[in-house]
């Protein structure tokens, strides 16, 4: 199972009584509160920073890209992150999950390389990094805009448990158990990384609805 950035293994559930309501709160503004997650769910939104997702691959790529002549040349221009997928949690304390995570980003280089050379470097890199799905550079009006899309699909199953407002899973693949804060409000569920809770909202958050 590939690692889906900082939250990839934190998608878990448990059947507890918790907060309720007819609809969920705004993304990133809901504190962990527990709740009943038994059933099938689909992601409908997220408010996550692209930073940290695919971090090791991104760092390795940019460490050698666009830095000729000693220039510190990678300048981030635009980043977006998205999660799509579905999962289910059964009363038998088993779960299954199928999620695609993507990050799109664009940047410019300031080390004087031609756009053609930069495009060739990115094309070569696509065969080296499994999560690098598409990349390229395009010149226009004397500038060069480069774009990169990272993506990874995660499908797994196992058992789950809960303690208070935190959820944990044990994957059948042997991946170490992971935990995350969660809150079910009516038919909406929020996943909030437990490490971020002490800082208060806005939280990194993945929002799902019950099917």
What is the chain's length?
A: 211
CA distance 39 to 107: 41
What was the pLDDT predicted at 67? 67
Is 50 exceeded by the pLDDT of residue 5? no
Pairing type for strands 94-109 and 39-47 reads unpaired
CA distance 117 to 67: 12
Question: pLDDT class for 196, splitting at 50, 70, 90?
Answer: low
CA distance 160 to 177: 9
Is 80 exceeded by the pLDDT of residue 70? no
162 DSSP β-pair partners: 167
Question: pLDDT class for 68, splitting at 50, 70, 90?
Answer: low
Q: Degrees (nearest 5) of the Cα angle 17, 154, 201?
A: 50
CA distance 199 to 27: 16
Global model pTM greater than 0.85: no
Question: Is the Cα torsion angle 36, 42, 44, 48 positive or negative in sign?
Answer: positive
Mean pLDDT for 62-67 is 74
Is 50 exceeded by the pLDDT of residue 24? yes
Mean pLDDT for 10-18 is 30
Question: pLDDT class for 16, splitting at 50, 70, 90?
Answer: very low
Q: Which stretch of 31-40, 150-159, 199-208 has the lowest confidence by average pLDDT? A: 199-208
CB atoms under 10 Å from CB of 56, counted, come to 11
Per-residue pLDDT tens over the stretch 75-107: 566 788 888 999 899 999 999 989 999 999 888
Smallest CA-to-CA distance from 162 within 154, 153, 170, 173 is with 170
Question: pLDDT class for 208, splitting at 50, 70, 90?
Answer: very high
Question: pLDDT class for 54, splitting at 50, 70, 90?
Answer: confident
Domain limits of the chain? 5-210
Whether 108 and 168 have beta carbons less than 8 Å apart is answered as: no
Whether 37 and 85 have beta carbons less than 8 Å apart is answered as: no
Phi, psi of 74 (to 5 degrees): -90, 120
Per-residue pLDDT tens over the stretch 183-194: 999 999 998 876
Smallest CA-to-CA distance from 194 within 32, 8, 4, 13 is with 32
């Amino acid at each position: 199972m590939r690692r889906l950035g900082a939250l990839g293994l934190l998608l878990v559930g448990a059947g507890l009584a918790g907060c309720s309501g007819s609809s969920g709160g705004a993304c990133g503004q809901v504190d962990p509160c527990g709740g009943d997650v038994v059933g099938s769910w689909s992601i409908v939104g997220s408010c996550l920073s692209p930073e940290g997702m695919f971090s090791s691959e991104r760092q390795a790529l940019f460490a050698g890209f666009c830095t000729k002549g000693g220039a510190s040349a990678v300048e981030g221009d635009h980043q977006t992150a998205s999660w799509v997928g579905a999962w289910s949690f059964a009363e038998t304390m088993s779960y299954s999950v199928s999620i695609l995570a993507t990050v799109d980003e664009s940047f410019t280089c300031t080390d004087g390389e031609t756009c053609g050379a930069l495009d060739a470097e990115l094309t070569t890199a696509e065969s080296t990094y499994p999560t690098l799905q598409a990349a390229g550079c395009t010149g226009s009006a004397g500038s060069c805009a480069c774009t990169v899309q990272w993506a990874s699909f995660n499908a797994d199953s196992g058992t789950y448990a809960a303690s208070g407002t935190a959820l944990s899973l044990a994957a059948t693949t042997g991946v170490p158990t992971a935990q995350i804060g969660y809150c079910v409000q009516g038919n909406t569920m929020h996943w909030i990384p437990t490490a971020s809770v002490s800082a208060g909202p806005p939280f990194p958050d993945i929002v799902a609805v019950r099917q």
